[in-house]
Amino acid sequence: MAVRKFKPVTPGTRHKIIGTFEEITTNKPEKSLLEAKKSTGGRNNSGKMTVRYIGGGHKQMYRLVDFKRAKDGIAATVKTIEYDPNRTARIALVVYADGQKSYILAPNGLKVGQTVLSGSGVAPEVGNTLPLAEIPLGTLIHNIELYPGQGAQMARSAGSYAQLLAREGKFAIIKLPSGETRMVLVTCRATVGVVSNIDHNLESSGKAGRKRWLGRRPHNRGVVMNPVDHPMGGGEGRASGGHPRSRKGLLAKGYKTRNPKKTSAKFIISRKKK
């Protein structure tokens, strides 16, 4: 995966940096794995705006991605690597030996024609999913479950990965992309490798219109608002606004919002670094 820089032919291409899409093998998704996706525009069931800065954007279909990888011991062949408008990573269409088709999150380096497996006793190779109890220590992993059988919830965005550091009893110690170190049951599953599209963090839209295509409306700073609209608004001239905080008055940029009495707090060994 690489990125393309454009010559400044227009104001929109001056700062534009996008991916090359060289790893994508088809532009037609598998119809049986598509679902309609409704756009809310940030409104709730009564039409009231509950989430700001959302609206418009290109129409999208949802791809049914298999985050459980529960078909154990059945080999699946990679047919295509595809673009998914709903996530930053690429997805791969795999066909199992019994004929079933499925989308999985494509790890970096996965090629068309490659075979992937899941379940206990599987080799810890890129694209294979197996319990944390069987993955060698120090391995880079992604698509990690929090509870056995629930489906992957951690390390799913483009270029992200976690590292398996140790195992103590029924728990595995994992270092997450945020820098946080936490314990996860060894019976939980994870996929070996790094999530695809690793250069996604180098991309730059180049113009506001490209954000609109993605369904994101202009985001206004609290400092430029009036006091009635935001805690950081008001003041004579270009006032800085005091301590950074949300529209509801909750402190931001350093203030810890996590509930210390949360049940999962006992599984966290060290919090993420600032």
In the chain, CATH 4.10.950.10 sits at 221-268
In the chain, CATH 2.40.50.140 sits at 24-201
pLDDT digits (tens, 9 = 90+) for 35-64: 999 999 999 999 999 999 999 999 999 999
Predicted pLDDT at 254: 84
Give the closest residue to 230 by CA, choosing from 214, 238, 242.
242
Q: How confident is the model at residue 125 (pLDDT cuts 50, 70, 90)?
A: very high
Q: Determine contact, residues 182/268, Cβ cutoff 8 Å.
A: yes
Q: Determine contact, residues 183/139, Cβ cutoff 8 Å.
A: no
pLDDT digits (tens, 9 = 90+) for 75-108: 999 999 999 999 999 999 999 999 999 999 999 9
* Average pLDDT value for residue range 130-159: 96
* Average pLDDT value for residue range 123-130: 96
Tokens 């995966």 locate to 1
Cα separation, 106 vs 81, in Å, equals 7
Q: How confident is the model at residue 274 (pLDDT cuts 50, 70, 90)?
A: low
Q: How confident is the model at residue 1 (pLDDT cuts 50, 70, 90)?
A: low
Residue 156 has pLDDT above 80, yes or no: yes
Predicted pLDDT at 244: 92
Predicted pLDDT at 181: 96
Query: At CA 140, angle to CA 138 and CA 144, rounded to 5?
Result: 115
Residue 253 has pLDDT above 90, yes or no: no
> Topology of 221-268 in CATH?
Ribosomal protein L2; domain 3 (4.10.950)
Cα separation, 192 vs 17, in Å, equals 29
Q: What percent of the chain has pLDDT over 90?
A: 92
Predicted pLDDT at 252: 87
Least confident of 68-77, 116-125, 245-254: 245-254
Q: Pick 169 or 272 by higher pLDDT.
A: 169
| 24-201: CATH number | 2.40.50.140
Residue 33 vs residues 104, 221, 243: alpha-carbon distances, Å: 11, 40, 47
> Considering the entire predicted model, what is its pTM?
0.91
Q: What b/e string do you get for 206-218 counting C-beta neighbours within 10 Å, with b at 16 or more?
A: beeeebbeebbbe
Which tokens belong to 149?
């059988």
pLDDT digits (tens, 9 = 90+) for 231-246: 999 999 988 888 899 9
Cα separation, 132 vs 165, in Å, equals 11
